[in-house]
Amino acid sequence: MTEPANAARPAFGTETAVQIEKLNKWYGTFHVLRDIDLTVRRGERIVIAGPSGSGKSTLIRCINQLEEHQSGRITVDGIELTNDIKNIDKIRSEVGMVFQHFNLFPHLTVLENCTLAPIWVRKIPRREAEETAMHFLREVRIPDQAHKYPGQLSGGQQQRVAIARSLCMRPKIMLFDEPTSALDPEMIKEVLDTMIELAEGGMTMICVTHEMGFAQAVAHRVIFMDQGQIVEENTPQEFFNNPKSDRTKLFLSQILGH
């Protein structure tokens, strides 16, 4: 971490937040993830990029077991993921996830969306959960929408609610699965700003995104995937200015060249 571009970023710890070893996954006979090895430190921010179908979403969905893997080890926060459903629920409650399509609960108000899991999973009293929820809704700058239903909000607002909903569980790690891909250009910025603020707060983040500006601004490390494998892994500085692999160069020329 000697690059000047990273000097301003708070250094992350040496503790391991997520450790992935020799991870393999198949959809039927299709080999989606091949021998993935990845270690994420506490406080580290990682951006995963790559062409569609490269397995990047599948990779982060394995971390909270929305997808099952067939071989390899995933250790999250010191707990190894097994088939034990209690173990998986425990890890999911420590790992927040933000989805491309928000996945808010349309039958609950914004506030209820944010308090549901703290009340039922963490067993926090309703009043306290509501205070926490309002705190995070203020953080994402939509406290005045708390009593509306998700369907009444714009896409950008919904995604910020989704971020607040995850934060209400006080997660140790946040996963972002293309959080801005379903948004209009004008709304992308408000979501990215929220994510940048979150990053500045020292959250451990793993983001699958095509927002290369975001990667350059906050990532400690960029991982480039293709055909289910990690092709290149580097600091954003090196990754964008001095890519090593031909596949990375091609990818960058395609997404940055217009």
Partner 1 sequence: MSEVHAETVPFVRDTMLPSAAPPARQSGAVLWLRENLFSGPLNILLTLAGLAALWALVSHLWPWFGHAVWNASSIGECRQIIAERYGQGAGGACFAIIRERWNQFIFGFYPAEHYWRPTAVFGLMMFAVAPILFSESRRLRWTVLAVSAVASFAACVALGAPGRALLAVGAGFVALAALIEYAPRRALAFSVLYPFLAVWMLWGGSFWGPVAVLAGFALALAIWRLGARFGAGLLGLALGVAAAVWWWAALGPRVAADLQGLMPLALAPVESRSFGGFLLALTIGVSGIVMSLPLGIILALARQSNLPVVRTLAVMFIEFIRGVPLITLLFVASILLNYFLPPGTNFDIILRVIIMVTLFAAAYMAEVIRGGLAALPRGQYEGADSLGLTYWQAQRLIILPQALKISIPGIVGTFIGVFKDTTLVTFVGLFDPLKQMADTIRATFAWKGAYWEPYIFTGTIFFILCFAMSRYAMYLERRLKTDHR
Smallest gap from Cβ 46 to partner 1, in A, equals: 18
Smallest distance from partner 1 to CB 44, Å: 21
Nearer to partner 1, 152 or 245 (CB): 152
In the complex, least distance from residue 173 CB atom to partner 1, rounded to whole angstroms: 12
Nearer to partner 1, 3 or 89 (CB): 89
| Shortest separation between residue 197's beta carbon and partner 1, angstroms | 21
Q: Do residues 179 and 206 touch, judged by C-beta distance below 8 A?
A: no
Question: Residue 212: enclosing H or E segment and its boundaries?
Answer: helix 212-218
Shortest CA distance to 139 belongs to which of 78, 198, 204, 199? Answer: 198
Q: Is residue 19 a contact partner of residue 75, using CB atoms and an 8 Å limit?
A: yes
Q: Of 89 and 144, which has the nearer Cβ to partner 1?
A: 89
Which residues bind to partner 1, rule: CB under 8 A? 64, 66, 85, 89-97, 99, 101-107, 116-117, 120-121, 149, 151-152, 165-166, 169
SS3 181: coil
187/154 Cα distance (integer angstroms): 9
8-state DSSP, 12: P
Contact 203, 174 (CB under 8 A): yes
Minimum distance between the CB of residue 172 and partner 1, rounded to whole angstroms? 12
Nearer to partner 1, 9 or 92 (CB): 92
The dihedral over CA atoms of 165, 169, 174, 178, expressed in degrees to the nearest 10, equals -20
Closer CB to partner 1, 102 or 251, in the complex: 102
